[in-house]
Every structure is written in structure tokens, then in C-alpha cells.
Amino acid sequence: MEPLPLELPADTVQRVASELRCPPTDERVALRLDEEDKLRHFKEYFYIPKVQDLPPIDLSLVNKDESAIYFSGNSLGLQPKTVQTYLEEELDKWAKMGVFGHSIGKWPWITADENILGLMTDIVDTMHLTMTGDTATTCLPALHIKWGNPSAQCNRFFLSCVCVF
């Protein structure tokens, strides 16, 4: 079930339904798509809430032990299974070193935003030097800055501010 170049998802569903000789809404289509999904293994890297743990759920209508269908990816998203380990490491460093955690250790806090710049440049398709992250003191003034001279070659910017008061 290799998708054709530039095949739209709706076309893929229709093609698989034709191969199975069933309507696109048939459960067999979904099962076939799931079986052959090359990205399926990524699911194992995240905790997926169980139906029984989500409020408000009428447990008489569902199988409480099933994983929930999670459509909140643009919000908090699913928790990666590695998060707790990383957080515990940093909390332990904080407990043992206090303020020195800003400049010492595997992930010094003062350079936390710089650690992901290389990864983010690939995601947002920009050069490393055009990306920046900063502190809360930058957030409000940054809203008042005119951002350069857009051109065909340079037509976007990425600004991320996390302001906590």
C-alpha cells in the first residue's frame, strides 16, 4: 500500500477501499491503513490516555481499557515517555546545585534555547542564525519591532517567547 507521489489522503483511502472491495468507511480500510503505516512505531514513544481516565466519560458506552483517540496535538499533545526522566534529572540538579544549574551540567539552563536551534532550523526551514529564543524581558518589546525587509529569499521569521509571571 505504498502511496502514490502527491496522493491526497482521501485518494489513498479510496484506493485502499477499492483494493478491498468495500466502502471507504468500512473498518477494514482503517485496519489496513494502520497495518501498513510506516510511522506506526512512533506511537510507542508516547503515553496514550486510557478511556477510563478521561472525564467525563460514560463507561457504559465504551471499553474503559482502550486507548483514547487523541486529537489535541496542537495543544499539550501526548506526553513522551522520556519526559519524566529528563525532568527528574533537572529537578535533581536544581536540588543539589541550586542556581549553579544555570551554567553547569549536561544541559545548562542558561543555554536551553540554544540546544534546540539546530533541530528547529530543519523543522521551520530556516538558517541557524535567523532563529532565536529569549527570556520574558524580550517578549513585550519584541512585539513592537519591525522585522527587517522581507524578500523572496527571506520572507519569514520565528519568534518564541514564554512569559511566566
Residue 80 reports pLDDT greater than 90: yes
CA distance 124 to 132: 12
Under DSSP, is residue 46 helix (H, G, I), strand (E, B) or coil?
Answer: strand
pLDDT at 3: 58
| Same domain, yes or no: 155 and 121 | yes
| Same domain, yes or no: 95 and 127 | no
Under DSSP, is residue 61 helix (H, G, I), strand (E, B) or coil?
Answer: coil
pLDDT at 163: 47
Which grid coordinates are listed for 121? Answer: 532550523
> Whole-prediction pTM value?
0.60
Average model confidence (pLDDT) across the chain: 80
Which residue range(s) make up the domain with 100?
Answer: 82-109
| Same domain, yes or no: 49 and 67 | yes
Sign of the CA dihedral with 95 first, then 96, 99, and 103 last: negative
Q: Structural domain tally of the chain?
A: 4
| Same domain, yes or no: 60 and 87 | no
